[in-house]
Structure 1
Amino acid sequence: MAVMMQAFFWDCPKIDDQEHNWWNHVASKVEDLSKAGINSLWLPPVSKAASNTSMGYDPYDYFDLGDFDQKGGTKTWYGSGDELKALIAKAHANGLGLYADMVINHNSGADEEEVNPLDGETRWTKFNPKSGRFPRDWNCFHPSRYEHVMMEGENFAGFPHLCHRNPHVYAAMFEYSRMLIEELGFDGFRFDFVKGFGAWIIGILSKYRYVKDGKEFTPWVVGEYWSGDQDIDAWLEKVNSYTDTQISAFDFPLRYQLKKVCDQPNYDLRNLTYGENIVMKRPLHAATFVDNHDMGGDEIVNDKLLAYSFIMVHEGYPSVFWYDYYNNGLARPLTPNGIDALIQAHHKYAGGDSEILHADPDLYIMQRHGWKDDTTDQAGLVYVLNNLGDKWSGTSVKTKWANQKFAPIAWDGHGLYGAVAHPDERTTDADGNAEFPAPPRGYCIYAPVF
């Protein structure tokens, strides 16, 4: 499986001193990210929002990529349309895919207030964007004459809520999606706040027969359904009924479990085995992550690499957060103790079925069985997660490999004066048994040596 990077964080242009220059800044990192093993970049919303210093989650003009002087300036907070196109071209030249953030639930920054005759309420719903594309009025929002209920889904922050059943809105969403895929070259979509609108619109936008580089193209699609496992599971069931089961969801339940692993002393690691997350129930539809731009105030504070180690060895499509990789300094290139080493372990070894070999409150051990076909050769691995804060911990487990030497390829944890000792090689006996330890409050990934 591939590895995605969320190539932004909240207020990133301001915090990193890259206002109106973020596309260029990301482009400057593309070659290094490709060499590190990143396969795709999830970019923030590309359209002009209610101001030109907005993160883009309050869209105003879907077709202004930073080329029209409106809402405080010409560029978006990230840059111009040409700079975005240059980033996409450079990413593709270095083997990276691009996912567009789709904010189609709500709009902001309207030019005029209007009275909605259906309920008599006055709202900011008159939009006259300078791109000239997708002007809209009250009938494009809930309540609309095109619906028999007040709205589909939840309202977001009181913003005008688009009615996708209006043919004008419906057509604009297709036009926008086609622009992103067919004109700009994006490779997939991340849909924001999917609990706010009908799953059917994602289904039809995903299954449109896009043409890219002269061939029909199917985008990769993931939805942000910020809720518990049962709600996400029900949404996946519904949205994939409109498609060939191509839609994934971010695994919020797993993320909150991993936050407890990292931030709560003595958290029972057996909780990771109970299937209350998406990756355990629907591994092919799980987009796993550790933190993202929405987690302000609820970030993982301690031992965050424990969480990254978990998502990199299990099934699912793992995402690396730009802020962790760069600002928090967790990439740690050319060492076995950071995200770069975990990415390499993911690519080279984390294939085949997962099997939990041991789980108690303080120790979790699993193996990946490995996978080999015409294009992939992943040997498998043994992963150890140690929750004890004061000592190395491991136990003897029965693996699938008999008389096999294993070498540690990635590890981190607590140690004397901040130094983490190098784990030793391990060799299984004739029955596949061996003891596999990990550092205090740490992890270790062991790979078979052939």
Structure 2
Amino acid sequence: MAVMMQAFYWDAPKLENREHDFWNFIAERVEDLGKAGINALWLPPINKGSSNTSMGYDPYDFFDLGDFDQKGGTKTWYGNRAELEALITKAHANSVGVYADMVINHNSGADEEEVNPLDGEKRWTKFNPASGIFPRDWNSFHPSRFERTMVEGEHFAGFPHLCHRNPSVYKAMFDYARLIIEDLDFDGFRFDFVKGYGSWMISLLSKYQYEKKDMKEFMPYVVCELWSGGDDIDMWLDKANSVTDNQIAAFDFPLRYQLKAVCDQPNYDLRNLTRDGSVVMARPAHAATFVDNHDMGEDIIQNDKLMAYSFIMVHEGYPCIFWFDYYNNGLARPFTPNGINALIEAHHKYAGGDSQILHADPDLYIMQRVGWKDDKTDQPGLVYVLNNLGDKWSGTSVKTKWCNQRMVPIAWDGHGLYGEVAHPDERRTDAEGNCEFPAPPRGYCIYVPIADDANKDEAIAGV
């Protein structure tokens, strides 16, 4: 599986001092991200919001990508269409895909208030966008003649919610999606706040047979934000995928909260990681795993965050790295075995095949990936150790799939280790595959099978 990156965080254009120039800011880093093994970038909403200093989650004009003077200026907070297209072109030149953030539930920044004759309520629902595309009034929103009540979903922030059953709204959403995939050359969608409207709309946008500029049909990657528990996400995915080619995934919020507990709660029982509830354990092919994102606010993981990253990078699912952690928190740590870059390399080179839990107790979790090989892939597998004890190295003997095998540590971190020479020693399994695998205090270690005559340094990820 690939690795994606959320290429922004809340108020990033301002905090990076790149207001109205953020597309160029990302583009400056694309080459390095491609070399590090990032396969796709999730970009923020591309359209003009209720102001030109908006993050885009309050859409006003879906078809103004920073080229019309409205809502305080011409460019969006990120730039204009030409800069966005240049970013996408550069990303593709470096083998990096791009996913568009789709906010199709609610609107903001209307030009006038109107009385909705169906319920007599006054709302900001009159939109006259400068692009001239998709003007709308009260009948484009709930309640509408096409659907008086919201039979599905929740309200968001008091904004008017689009009625997708209105043919003009339905068409506009398809026109917007086709602009993104066919004209701008995006590779997929991330749908925002999907509990706010019917999953059928996402299903139809996902299964449409898009045609790229090379005249070839294209199926986008689709991942959705359903901020809920595992059962709700599972049922929603069943419903959404029932009319598609089964390509719709969801961010794994249940796993994220488990990992936050691992990192921030002393003595958290690691056996909880083996239990049902997460998307990746129930349906790994539909799981987008992550550690933090732009919505977490004060609920971000505060301690030992690399423990969480190590977990998502060795298990199944499509891991997503947060730009703020990678750059601003300095967790990339290139050319060392102690950071995200080393975990990315371990993910790509070794994390193939099924996951098998070899040991789990309150303070120690050991798992193996059994490996995968076909005409395109050769990932020999790995052993992953997560140690919850804060004061000492810890490990235990487990029975692996490898017999009489040299096992080399390639990525690790723990309390007081970064920047130090100390590191775990390589191991060798016995004739039955048994071996003891330790990990640093409040840390992790990844061991991989290496031939006896191979150079150890060449196997160490990130070096």
- Flag whether TM exceeds 0.5 (same fold): yes
Native 8 Å contact 1:236 1:247 kept in 2: yes
Q: What is the SS of the residue equivalent to 1:395?
A: strand
Q: 1:387 and 1:54 mapped to 2: Cα distance? A: 41
Quick one: distance in 2 between partners of 1:151 and 1:142? 10
Summarize the Cα distance change of 1:40–1:150 in structure 2 as closer, same or farther, 3 Å threshold.
Answer: closer
Residues 3 and 317 in structure 1, CA contact (< 8 A), matched pair in contact too: yes
- Deviation by residue 1:420-445 (Cα, 9 ceiling, x = unmatched): 72100010000000000000000000
Is the 1:420–1:439 Cα contact (8 Å) retained in structure 2? no
Tell me, in whole angstroms, the C-alpha distance in 2 between the residues paired with 1:332 and 1:146: 54
1:435 and 1:417 map into 2 onto residues whose CA distance is 23
Partner of 1:66: 66
Structure 1 position 214, deviation (Å):
1.1
Q: Which amino acid is the alignment partner of residue 130 of structure 1? A: A
Aligned with 2:297: secondary structure?
A: coil
Give aligned pairs, total. 450
1:315 is aligned with what amino acid?
E
Q: Secondary structure at the match of 2:41?
A: strand
Other structure's SS at 2:25 match? helix
Amino acid at match of 1:270: R
| Cα contact 1:369–1:380 (8 A) shared by 2 | yes
- Structure 2: how far apart are the matches of 1:366 and 1:10? 35
Q: Which residue of 2 aligns with 1:153?
A: 153
CA distance in 1, matches of 2:341, 2:57: 30
Cα distance in 2 for residues equivalent to 1:324 and 1:278:
23
> Once the 2 structures are TM-superposed, how far is the Cα of residue 414 of structure 1 from its aligned partner?
1.1
Deviations 1:117-139, CA, capped at 9 Å, x for gaps:
00000000000000000000000
Q: Does residue 316 of structure 1 match 2:332?
A: no
Q: Quick one: distance in 2 between partners of 1:229 and 1:419? A: 40
Give the corresponding residue for 1:388.
389
Partner of 1:301: 302
Cα deviations across residues 280-337 of structure 1 (Å, max 9, x unaligned)?
A: 0010000000000000110000000000000000000000000000000000000000
Deviations 1:2-58 (A, max 9, x none): 000000000000111110110000000000000000000000000000000000000
Amino acid at match of 2:161: H
In the alignment, the residues of structure 1 paired with residue 92 and residue 418 of structure 2 have an alpha-carbon distance, to the nearest angstrom, of 43
Paired-residue identity, %: 78
Correspondence for 2:185: 185
Tell me how far apart the structure 2 counterparts of residues 164 and 232 of structure 1 sit (CA, whole Å). Answer: 22
Q: Shift of residue 275 of structure 1? A: 1.6
1:151 Cα deviation (Å)? 4.6
- Structure 2 vs 1, CA of residues 427 and 149 (structure 1 numbering), >3 Å: closer, same or farther? same
Give, in whole Å, the separation in 2 of the partners of 1:150 and 1:393.
54
Q: Please state how far the C-alpha of 1:149 moved relative to its aligned partner.
A: 2.9
Structure 2's unaligned 5+ residue stretches are 452-463
Structure 2: distance between partners of 1:303 and 1:419: 17
Aligned pairs (5 A) from 1:55-204: 55-204=55-204
Kindly indicate whether residue 38 of structure 2 is the aligned counterpart of residue 17 of structure 1.
Answer: no
Cα distance in 1 for partners of 2:153, 2:440 equals 46
Kindly provide the amino acid, as one letter, of the partner of residue 229 in structure 1.
G
Deviation at 1:245, TM superposition (A): 1.1
Contact 1:48 1:62 in 2 (8 A): yes
The one-letter code of the counterpart of 2:301 is: I
| Separation of aligned partners in 2, 1:420 and 1:187 | 42
Deviations 1:333-359 (A, max 9, x none): 000000000000000000000000000
Partner of 2:267: 266
1:244 CA drift (Å)? 1.6
Whether contact under 8 Å (2:142, 2:148) holds in the other structure is no
Question: Where do residues 34-53 of structure 1 align in structure 2 (5 Å cutoff)?
Answer: 34-53=34-53
Given the two structures, how large is their TM-score scaled by the length of structure 1? 0.99
> Considering only aligned residues, what root-mean-square deviation do their CA atoms show, in Å?
1.0
Q: What TM-score, normalized by structure 2, do the two folds share?
A: 0.96
What does the per-residue CA deviation read over 1:84-113, in whole Å, with 9 as the maximum and x for residues that have no partner?
Answer: 000000001110000000000000000000
Rounded to whole Å, the distance in 2 between the matches of 1:416 and 1:219 is 41
- Which letter maps to 2:178? R
Cα pair 2:153 2:195 within 8 Å, conserved: yes
- 8 Å contact from structure 2 (residues 142, 149) kept in 1: no
Match of 2:459 in 1: none
Q: Which runs of 5+ in 1 are unaligned?
A: none
CA displacement 1:151-187 (0-9 Å, x = unmatched): 5311101100000000000000000000000000000
1:403 aligns with 2:404: yes
CA distance in 1, matches of 2:416, 2:332: 19
For 1:251-400, what aligned pairs fall within 5 Å after superposition? 251-400=252-401
State the match for 2:6 in structure 1.
6
